[in-house]
Structure 1
Amino acid sequence: MQEKIKSLLQEVEAFSANDKQGLETFRLRYVSRKGVVGDLFEELKQIPNEEKKIVGKILNELKQAAEAKLLVLSEQLEATASSNVDIDLTLPGIPNITGNLHPLSLTRYRIIEIFERLGFNVADGPEIEDDWHNFSALNFPENHPAREMQDTFFIEKKSGRDSQDVLLRTHTSNVQIRLMKSQKPPIRAIMPGRVYRNEAISARAHCFFHQVEGLYVDKNVSFSDLKQTLFHFAKEMYGKDIKLRLRPSFFPFTEPSAEIDVTCLICKGEGCVVCKRSGWVEIAGAGMVHPNVLKNCGIDPQEYTGFAFGMGIERVTQLRYQVNDLRLYSENDIRFLRQFRTSNIA
């Protein structure tokens, strides 16, 4: 039996495999349980005990040699297969495919860039807010019809006299309140962020959207400052030929108040579905900060005045890229998003 084992060891050492079939033949003959080595282990049970130790030792050496040889043959075949691959070194390289910013992000960064040049800082605040910061401090009296202008997602309604309802903010004006409470004038900041309102989803409205609000509080701030600031923004965002108009309006937190319209860039002022055939599209609401709001934040309205404005980033993006359906921004359709590669956007 020892001679047979030595003969098989020589076979293992001399075996060569040129393909996967040869490798499988080697495995079945020398490594598998039903191969010749497995048969020898069965025969080992029949030999006398005094010989088992010697024969068992050389039989284990044969088994280990077969397993090591199988590994070597496998690695040799893999190396040969990879070296036989034809590579055309004259072919151009495959470029890295990078992603692109969302159109709302592109517009948001552009808005920030414009206002930063005017000296505005960027501020942020919580999306989950209490009633005081979202409504009461902004001159919304309890049960006042003005609260119904913004359908609210309430997280927790509290009934105690001194308790505050918890809600998803309906505008980023809550950040203005937090700024005025924590910082003394002069204050000049914009507040971009996501807001939530319980509205039916359509081409013109959504239950969540993005706003950027601005606030400037200092001595001798006038409505003229507000008008020139927004006029400069419109020119920078939409081009020098854009027209701007202000219409009297009402907001509880500003007085006087105005709505800001620009020429509809989709129809060029001729009238379309987006502008409701008027040739104008509203982009912002604005006004002088109400004295009650300044008082609520600990600022003396006799010494300081200020203006505030707010605009929807979706609406600005709609005009900038002439997208006529707000739902496209949140559907994550890659065919839509690929149109806004950063390198192709001015």
Structure 2
Amino acid sequence: MAATKQSLGAEERRERTLMFLTPIVSVLLALVVGAIIIACLGKNPLQGYAALLQGSLGDMGKLGKTLERACPLIFTSLAAVFAYKCGVFNLGGEGQFIMGACATATVVFGLGLNGPAALALGLVAGIVVGGVWGLLPGIMKVTRGLNEMITTIMLNYVALYLMEFVFKNLYSDKGLPKTIAIPTGARLPDVAGIHLGVVIAIVLGVAIWYVLFRTSFGFKIRATGMNQVAARVNGFPVRSLVLLSFVISGAAAGLGGSVELLGRAPFRLADGFGSGFGFDGVAIALIAQLNPLASIVVAILFGILSTGGTMMQSVIGVPTAIIDIIRGMIIIFAVAGMAWTQLPKIKAYIASLGSKGEGKKAEASA
């Protein structure tokens, strides 16, 4: 019995090691591919990557810009992580992000608020409306059995057109296709060169990690995600947990939209606001292997690539599309690596390596 437990523990450690190494190897491979492309363009890859790091981490100002660029990705990736942990696929992070920002703009402009009251009510509105927007596909899934991937994507387009109505009609700035700017008193304050939203995002990531892995509620969420039938047999309220996961996921994305609007220039809604954040968040969640803390790290990596890409372009003269290629390769390698490590033959091979190692240890001790 003790030997069996020991072997199971060793196998679990090997799986965790593989899960930890897969995204790291994926990033390294993507950087190698990027270096090959840069070299094919006749440029120096090392000089390009040095410029990328200098442009994103070279001083406190650049570091702050990188963190602010990563901030919305942290929110949308956390939204994806929480939903996936419950076994549902929330591809509507972008729509929930946009609706959170629209709710904030409506509260601030519609009520004519300014100061701390506008800031607090704006954030609360973003959380509530984001949660409601996330609840809609949850209700459709639980009551009608509709595929949440389809409904969440469709709701993204609805949110997009609602935002367009807000910035073109409700609160347009002198007829221009953008809202008036958020009043100075209603904006998120700066903390050490970054807006407070970055701190909120990191705190939220830690809180979600704690809830998922250190509370009974989180255990129920993860149990439901692993096997709904087994969770239901054990008395877990599966339908309620699924709905709650959609609400919390949507609320996290909605808060991200509020933070983006209140914390980052130009402090207004316009065409392209929130574009791509939802699907980037899903990719980050997958690369991070659905770990909230790892999602923060991967989001910051994406922020480094986005911020430093401009500097790399100006220093060695390569297009910023190289950054998009590297980012895409990270996603491809990470997803392929996770799928590869789950193949039965690969698992059996790793287990055989572990058993050989244990056999050699036993022979040495004898």
* TM-score, length basis structure 2: 0.22
Q: Hey, which of these two has a bigger chunk of helix by percent? A: 2
Q: Hey, which of these two has a bigger chunk of strand by percent? A: 1
* TM-score, length basis structure 1: 0.23
Larger RCO, structure (CA 8 Å, separation 6 or more): 2
Greater Cα radius of gyration, structure 1 or 2? 1
